[in-house]
Amino acid sequence: MTVKYTPDHEWINIDGNSATVGITHHAQDALGDVVFVDLPEVGKAYAAKDAAAVVESVKAAADVYMPANGTVTEVNEELRADPSLANSDPLGAGWFFRMTLDNPAELDGMMDETSYTAFAAEAH
């Protein structure tokens, strides 16, 4: 499995043609306490950069973008029931959705952890 990062502060954990998507530590820090998530529709196909979900905090609301072309296969119902998981475990239990990738090679140009860490540090 490979984890990549987007400039919009999503992470994507890639396993073949499947992937899990969530928000990064930087994103949840910037948002503050997450109080609501609007998750995408299972079975719906999205294009890369489409707004697939929404995360709302006490400070702001932000879109969670589709990192690549694909179809949502599962949403995190535990996150819907307890949005604070996006704060307490954003890279684990706080994942947003799983998807099937139309073309995994689309993700080749995304940032790895080292590149993203440098990017996020500049974003402060």
Q: Which numeric CATH code is attached to 2-104?
A: 2.40.50.100
Q: What average pLDDT does the segment 24-37 reach? A: 95
**pTM summary value:** 0.95
pLDDT, residue 123, reads 76
Q: Each residue of 34-55: pLDDT tens digit?
A: 999 999 999 999 999 999 999 9
**What are the structural domain ranges in the chain?**
2-104
Longest CA–CA span in the chain (Å) reads 37
Question: Which residues, at least 6 apart from 58, have a Cβ–Cβ distance to it below 8 Å?
Answer: 32, 33, 35
Tens of pLDDT, residue by residue over 71-82, are 999 999 999 999
At residue 22, the 3 state secondary structure works out as strand
> What's the token pair of residue 18?
């499947």
